[in-house]
Amino acid sequence: MASITIRQLDESLKQQLRLRAASHGRSMEDEVRTILRAAAVGPAEAPPARAATRRNERVAESPVLVSKPIVPAGHKRVLLIIGGGIAAYKSLDLIRRLRERHMAVRCILTAAAQEFITPLAAGALAGERAFTDLFDAASELDVGHIRLARDTDAIVVAPATADLMAKMAGGHANDLASAVLLATNRPILIAPAMNPAMWANGATQRNLAQLMQDGVVTVGPNAGEMAEAGEAGLGRMAEPLEIASATEALFGDEGGRPLAGKRIIVTSGPTHEPIDPVRYIANRSSGRQGHAIAAAAAAAGAKVVLVSGPVSIPDPPGVRIVKVESARAMFEAVETALPADCAVFAAAVADWRVATPGSEKIKKQKGKAPLPLALVENPDILATISHRKVKRPPLVVGFAAETENVIENAKAKLVRKGCDWIVANDVSPETGIMGGETNSVHLVTAAGVETWPPQSKDGVARALVARIANALTGEQA
């Protein structure tokens, strides 16, 4: 038989031959011989396909390349990376929720994820093959992990296990999921899920801080019962609807992301200043207005850090949450979050704290008046940030919750604190604003006072964020 000269073949034919040979684990010359042998002896005696070498692996007759997904007009592309935790079963529902929101979904399953759910299940719900292996000869002939990293509009990691977060923070790339995450230049959203002790571990918190610094957005974790008997706390993966909403917030409205690339700090809620282990000084703030501002800023494309006091409302999607109790903890969290393009101080921070909180519950003594509480002043977060010489945000917005002389007091506060804007409102009990769903505010600036019509707190948030976007981009309001 004459020798086989591959290089004389047409380029397109050579490419098809190269892909077919790779899928069968043969050289191009051996593949040609196999084709000729099969043609000579007939289809009944064609050689059998190469046996699978991995668990559940099936070798196709021709390679399955990572082709660019076909996405209907107006749909966003999401690459869902499913980590190995019991919460992986929720990711199947998440695929449905994303597709309901007109998002095309591709899936990567880590090796550990495949212990909980199958690639077949994920692929069936997503509508295309799920990817699992970095060293897949079929897809890696086309450098598949790079295509997966680029042919998407965002990457969602759910569940994001402690191990996967550590790989991301450390820049590891020893499997398909971590290689894609390292190679991408697209927005990344993670939904952490792990045991509460693992979440609270210093190593996990350091990894989280690094990821936040790198621009990764988080949703959750939530508090609740764990899969392990008798375990409860912070570590449950956010629910699929929460993750889907956070994914939508990554995109915002089409063409409506005026704060893309900007960093915004928002404070929200009350602070609790302990009197003893049982009692504390607080106020009636619900955190609704601050949380709404954080959500609106995230929807406008900003990277948002929300420093929240103790509240009972859900975390807004698409923002980084730092939960604190006291005014001093809130101040430290704000300083840690700097630098920023804008800081909005909507929290109702306690002006005073007990100088020496009791280490035990203070007992009532019959016939005796309670001991007087010695109070000391808390740090003034708004004034301190406004007067910084270094890392002062270009735009600092304060809030003034007043019960009388609202505009006059707000003007005085603007000068006294040194901030750029004050959002003032009347929180007298008869208004129902403190803790309620609606708000009526005045925007006080050096240029004057604007009185906005009564509206929902979400409406106030959207209007304020629009003004912030105008200010930061140099446009006239």
Cα-Cα-Cα-Cα torsion 310, 388, 460, 261, nearest 10 degrees, comes to -100
On whether the CB atoms of residues 139 and 65 are closer than 8 A, the answer is yes
A 10 A CB-CB count for 405 gives: 11
User: In whole angstroms, what separates CA 194 from the centre of its chain?
Assistant: 16
Q: Give kind and range of the element (H or E) at residue 88.
A: helix 88-100
The number of CA neighbours under 13 Å toward the Cβ of 477 is 14
Q: What is the CA radius of gyration of the chain?
A: 29
User: DSSP string covering 305-351, please?
Assistant: EEEE-S-SSPPPTTSEEEE-SSHHHHHHHHHHH---SEEEE--B--S
Q: DSSP character for 391?
A: S
- Helices 288-299/457-473 angle, 10° precision: 50
Tokens (6 digits) for 199: 């979440």
283 catalytic residue (yes or no):
yes
Q: Give kind and range of the element (H or E) at residue 426.
A: strand 421-426
Instruction: Point out the catalytic residue in the list 174, 195, 207, 283.
Output: 283
Long-range contacts of 421-429 (CB under 8 A, 24+ apart): 421/395, 421/396, 421/397, 421/445, 422/397, 422/398, 423/346, 423/397, 423/398, 423/399, 423/460, 423/464, 424/399, 424/400, 425/399, 425/400, 425/401, 426/402, 427/401, 427/402, 427/403, 428/403, 428/404
| Active-site residue set | 283
